[in-house]
Amino acid sequence: MTRSPAPVQTPSSWRRLTDPAIGLVGDLVGPALRVLNPTPGRRTSGRPGRTHVEMRGMGAPEQADARRAVVDELHRVDGVHGAVVNAVLGRVVVDHEPHVGVAQLVDVVTRIEAAYDLQRAQPDTDGSHPAEVTPWVRQVVALSLDLAGLGVVGVERFLTTVPVTSAVPTLLTAGLSLADAVPASRTAFEEATGSATTESWFSVGSATVQAIGRGPLGLVVDACYRAIRADEAAARNESWAAWDGDAALEAHETEPVETGERPQPLRRGPVEQVGDLSGAAALAAFGVARALVPERAAAVLLAGVPKASRWGREAYVSSAHRALADGGVVIVDPTALRRADRVDVVVLSEDLAQDRVLADAASSVGRLVIVDGGTAQAVTRLQEAGHGVALVSAGDAEGLAAADVGIGVGGKIPWTAALRCVDRDQARAALTVVAGARAASWRAAALALAGSAAGAPIALTSSLVGLGGRTNTPVTLAALVSIGVNAWAGRVLGRGA
C-alpha cells in the first residue's frame, strides 16, 4: 500500500527552460556524441510529487532482477513513497516528497544499471516518452527562425537594401528541401542518425536556410507548418499530463512485451510513391539541365520538390492528434497514425465487434476481421499477406504491439497501445482518423504533383532574374493548400465527425 505524495512546489522556471533546450541540443549533436562514446544523457520528466526516470535495458524479459532491484533501492530513499517500472516505456516512475531531488533518483537508477551491466543498452535517443517536451521545443525554435526571417525580409523591403536572401544559393535551398521531402532520403537519414536527430536537423536547418534565403511566402508556409507540429507536440504533452495527474502509481507498472520484427516491410503509401518518384525525376531533370542549361539547373531541382506530399500528411496527423487529445485520448506513439494511410484491415475482438457503431467505423477503414483470441497471430498473418493492420483491443498487449496502429480501449489498457482510449467513442474517433488518412495522403500527393507541374515550365522558360523565387511559388502554394486542407480534415475527423 503506497501513500499519496504530499503537495510540492512546481519545478523552477530555469529547469522548465533548460531541460527541453538540453534535449534539443542532444538531438542535434546525437550522432557525434555516440561516435565519441561519452555517457549519454538521461531523460527525465514528471509533475510535482512524481518523477519518471529513463532506465536502459528494461524492455528485456531477462532483466526481472534489475527491475526488482531498482524498485527496492528507490524505496530505501528517504521521502520516496513508491516506485514502479514501466518496462514498455523504459521508465522508472517514482512518487516522492518535495525534498527528494531528481539527481538522487537518477543516481539510484545509474547504480542499478551499473550493477546489472545495463549501461550499454540502447538509451532513449528519440525522446519518445509522451511527456518529452523536446519535440515541442524543436518546432518552436524553427517557428521562431521563420518569424525572424519574415522580420528580415520586411526590413529589407522597407529600407530597399540589398536583400540578404540573395546570399543563399538556390541549389542549397533546393537540395535541403528535396532531402527533407523525399521519403527515401529522409528514411536513409533516420536510419543513419535516428529519427530525433533527423527531425531536429531538418526542422532547424530548413528554417534557418529559409530565414535567410527565401521570400516571405516560403517563410509563411513554413511557419504555418511549424505551428501545427508544435501544437501537436503540446497536445500530446497535455493529454499525458491530464491522465498522469489522476493516475495511481500502479497504473504505470507493466512488464516487458516481446515483439518481433514485422514479417515484411509496410507497403508504400501515396506519399512514398509520389515523393520518391518526384525526387528521382527532379534529380534526373537537374542532371539534364546541368548539362544543357546550367544556369537553370537549380531552379529545375527546386520545381521537383514534393513538399506538399509529406507536409500534407504531417498536417493531417498533427491536427488529428490535437483533436483526439482534446477528446481525452492519450497519444503514446505519435508515429502510428503516420502509417495509417497504408492500413486496409482492422482487427476487432468478438466483444468489441458487437458494438455496431464501432464495427461500422472499423469497416470504413477497409476489411474487418473479427477474432476470438489470438489477435497477435491474426495481425501477423495479415501483415504477411501484405496488409497494413489496425487493432482495437481492450487488453491484448502482444497484438497491440504487433499492429501497425494499435488502439487500446477500456479502463486498463496495455502500454503497447499507440493510442489509449478510455471509451469506445474515443476509439471510434481514432478509427475515423485512420479511415481518412489514405484520402488525405492522396490529396497531398496530387497537390505536390500539381505544384511541380506548374513550377517546371517557369524554371525552364522564365527570366533568370529572380528565377528561384518564381519557381518556388507554385511548389510552396501547393504545400500551403495541402497543409490547410489536410489540417482541417484531421481536426474534423479527430473529433469523431
DSSP class of residue 264 equals S
Q: Which tens digits make up the pLDDT trace of 324-368?
A: 999 999 999 999 999 999 999 999 988 899 999 999 999 999 999
Mean pLDDT of the chain: 86
Does the structure show a pLDDT above 70 at 281?
Answer: yes
Burial of 452 (0-12, 13-18, 19+ CB in 10 A): buried
Q: Which tens digits make up the pLDDT trace of 68-85?
A: 999 999 999 999 999 999
User: H/E element holding 92?
Assistant: strand 91-96
Cα–Cα distance between 48 and 104 in angstroms, integer?
A: 15
Cα–Cα distance between 333 and 195 in angstroms, integer?
A: 13
Q: How far is CA 57 from CA 53, 93, 195, 204, 283, in A?
A: 13, 15, 20, 31, 43
Cα–Cα distance between 285 and 445 in angstroms, integer?
A: 19
Cα–Cα distance between 134 and 131 in angstroms, integer?
A: 9
Tell me, yes or no, if the pTM score tops 0.85: yes
Task: Extract the C-alpha cell encoding 132.
Answer: 518529452
- Please give the distance of CA 410 from its chain centroid, rounded to a whole number: 25
Closest CA to 98 of 47, 45, 44: 47
- Residue 3 is predicted with a pLDDT of 37
- 468 and 300 in contact (C-beta within 8 Å)? no
**Highest CATH level, class, for 13-115:** alpha beta
- Residue 472 is predicted with a pLDDT of 86
Count CB-CB contacts under 10 A for residue 255: 15
For the chain, count helices (H), then strands (E).
Answer: 18, 10
Does the structure show a pLDDT above 90 at 370?
Answer: yes
Residue with cell 495509417: 340
Least confident interval from 9-13, 144-148, 177-181, 331-335:
9-13
Q: Which tens digits make up the pLDDT trace of 425-466?
A: 999 999 999 999 999 999 999 999 999 999 999 999 999 888
Cα–Cα distance between 364 and 429 in angstroms, integer?
A: 12
Average pLDDT over residues 151-161: 68
Residue with cell 529519427: 195
- Residue 19 is predicted with a pLDDT of 52
Per-domain boundaries in the chain:
13-115
- Please give the distance of CA 166 from its chain centroid, rounded to a whole number: 33
- Residue 219 is predicted with a pLDDT of 85
Q: What are phi and psi of 348, to 5 degrees?
A: -125, 145
What's the first-to-final CA gap in the chain, in angstroms? Answer: 43
Confidence band of 215 (pLDDT split at 50, 70, 90): low
Cα–Cα distance between 227 and 221 in angstroms, integer?
A: 10
Q: Which tens digits make up the pLDDT trace of 23-52?
A: 555 555 554 444 444 444 688 888 889 999
Least confident interval from 33-42, 303-312, 373-382:
33-42
User: H/E element holding 419?
Assistant: strand 419-421
- Residue 311 is predicted with a pLDDT of 94
- Residue 287 is predicted with a pLDDT of 93
Cα–Cα distance between 127 and 42 in angstroms, integer?
A: 10
- Residue 213 is predicted with a pLDDT of 55
- Residue 212 is predicted with a pLDDT of 58
Does the structure show a pLDDT above 80 at 188?
Answer: yes
- Residue 157 is predicted with a pLDDT of 66
Cα–Cα distance between 178 and 279 in angstroms, integer?
A: 7
